[in-house]
Structure 1
Amino acid sequence: MSKRRMLKKQEETAVTSNNRQWWYIGGALGGVVVIALFALMVQAAVPTAAPRPTATPVADIPGLVQAPSPPSGEHDDNLQISFGELPPFGGPHNSVWQNCGIYVNPVRPEHAVHALEHGAVWITYQPDLAEAELSALTARVRSRNYVLVSPYPEQRSPIVLTAWGIQLELEDSADERFLAFLDAFEQGPQTPEPGGACSGGLGFTTGS
């Protein structure tokens, strides 16, 4: 074989080898692209977990007290919560909620807490609250659907507004924070079960 033919054959072999290398590289890159696209499709198909309610909803209301972490919400039908200086604002409760509305007698805290879990605001007042103040209070909330009003024995403040994990003590309902609290937390961002029923549970009221 002449030297010229040998060189030509070597060149053809080199070209074939280079073409084969580029084919391997192209195939590998194509495989990477396919895998990346598949991973993106799988990620898009997986539903994102809903965020847990936080203990710090946005509300600039002086005097507001919030739980350091979201209260637990276990059901315990044998539970009896004692009346104290302040109503409970979360935690274990009865599986039957208290109906929203206006009550003239105290309601059981373990049922009222369940209403809080559904987004209700529980407004409690001292049993000896002046009749004129009580009338003004009920007039301010009568048109609301997720409000529970009742006297609370041994309460230390004239009026207390309670939502799930949040509480505010007031002297009277004319305080501008009264309506601010209701606007912020009736079915507010702190609600573990927004839209849960506030009727069809326990209790009869004087109207809402």
Structure 2
Amino acid sequence: MSNDENLTIKQQREKRRAEKVAALRAKQEREKRRNLIAIGSAVVGALAVIAIIVSIVVTSAQPRVEPEDIDIAGLETFDEIEGVHVEGAVDYDQTPPVGGPHNAAWLNCGIYEQEVPAENAVHSLEHGAVWVTYDPEEVTGGDLDALRDAMPNTYVILSPFEGLETPVVASAWGYQVQLDGVDDERLADFIVKYRASPDAPEPGALCTQAVDGPGKIA
């Protein structure tokens, strides 16, 4: 005979009532724990969002570095460059050239997968463009893709150039820096400092609506 059979009907009802109350309390405790977990997750998420917002605000509040205040290690400077229009090929003193006699038509800025005429590219430098050249034997595959992706949309020419002393060279009118590779931090500094610079011989002149070199892809 079971224990319930020894109980009176009243005792059996009270026992069932107690079991229901215990089950209800257990359910309420489980729901309470779930609510606490949900609240905790929401708080953590909110704190993460606040941290991101604070980071953005602090970063944007940092004083902007002016181009003229950027120092670039290894920067070469070339003075007294004459910018006259000529026809035909030019034997430049620097490789790649940083200015000098050039073609009357400038090279449209953009990304090239073939070497471009130096005489047209130099004219673009006169307008404030930066010419980023790379050794096609040294910079390939993912490195080349990363270099292309890093280029601004305007006032930059990117092209291969055989015979460089370093994997990458950045040039502007009268300035040049030889770089150790596509991840050299000086490349970004050089572009910020000299791209569309007001100190270019013809600042604000176009870097479009002229001639495309061979292999222009962007």
Q: TM-score, normalised by structure 2?
A: 0.64
Stretches of structure 2 lacking an aligned partner (at least 5 in a row): 1-67
Select which of 150, 161, 181 maps to 2:159: 150
Equivalent residue for 1:159?
A: 168
Q: Give, in whole Å, the separation in 1 of the partners of 2:140 and 2:110.
A: 20
The CA deviation string for residues 176-197 of structure 1, in whole angstroms up to 9 with x for no partner, is 1111100000011430101111
State the shift of 1:70 in Å: 3.4
1:35-74 alignment, distance < 5 Å: 59-67=70-78, 69-74=79-84
Select which of 170, 176, 179 maps to 2:185: 176
Asked whether the 8 Å contact 1:165–1:190 carries over to 2, the reply is no
Deviates more, 1:57-66 or 1:85-94: 57-66
State the shift of 1:85 in Å: 7.4
Is structure 2 residue 217 aligned with structure 1 residue 206?
A: yes
State the shift of 1:173 in Å: 2.3
CA RMSD of aligned residues (A): 1.8
Equivalent residue for 1:111?
A: 120
State the shift of 1:153 in Å: 1.6
Q: Give, in whole Å, the separation in 2 of the partners of 1:72 and 1:85.
A: 14
Asked whether the 8 Å contact 1:84–1:153 carries over to 2, the reply is no
Equivalent residue for 1:136?
A: 146
State the shift of 1:82 in Å: 5.0
Is structure 2 residue 85 aligned with structure 1 residue 75?
A: yes
Q: Which has the higher helix share?
A: 2
Q: Which has the larger radius of gyration?
A: 2
Asked whether the 8 Å contact 1:83–1:109 carries over to 2, the reply is no
Deviates more, 1:197-206 or 1:103-112: 197-206
- Secondary structure of the structure 2 residue equivalent to 1:149: strand
Equivalent residue for 2:203?
A: 194
The CA deviation string for residues 103-134 of structure 1, in whole angstroms up to 9 with x for no partner, is 00000111100000000000001121222111
- Secondary structure of the structure 2 residue equivalent to 1:167: strand
Asked whether the 8 Å contact 2:110–2:156 carries over to 1, the reply is yes
1:6-21 alignment, distance < 5 Å: none
Equivalent residue for 1:98?
A: 107
- Secondary structure of the structure 1 residue equivalent to 2:147: helix
State the shift of 1:91 in Å: 0.6
Equivalent residue for 1:52?
A: none
Asked whether the 8 Å contact 1:98–1:115 carries over to 2, the reply is yes
Q: TM-score, normalised by structure 1?
A: 0.67
Asked whether the 8 Å contact 1:84–1:155 carries over to 2, the reply is no
- Residue 94 of structure 1 aligns with an amino acid whose one-letter code is N
The CA deviation string for residues 78-112 of structure 1, in whole angstroms up to 9 with x for no partner, is 3x135897201011100000110000000011110
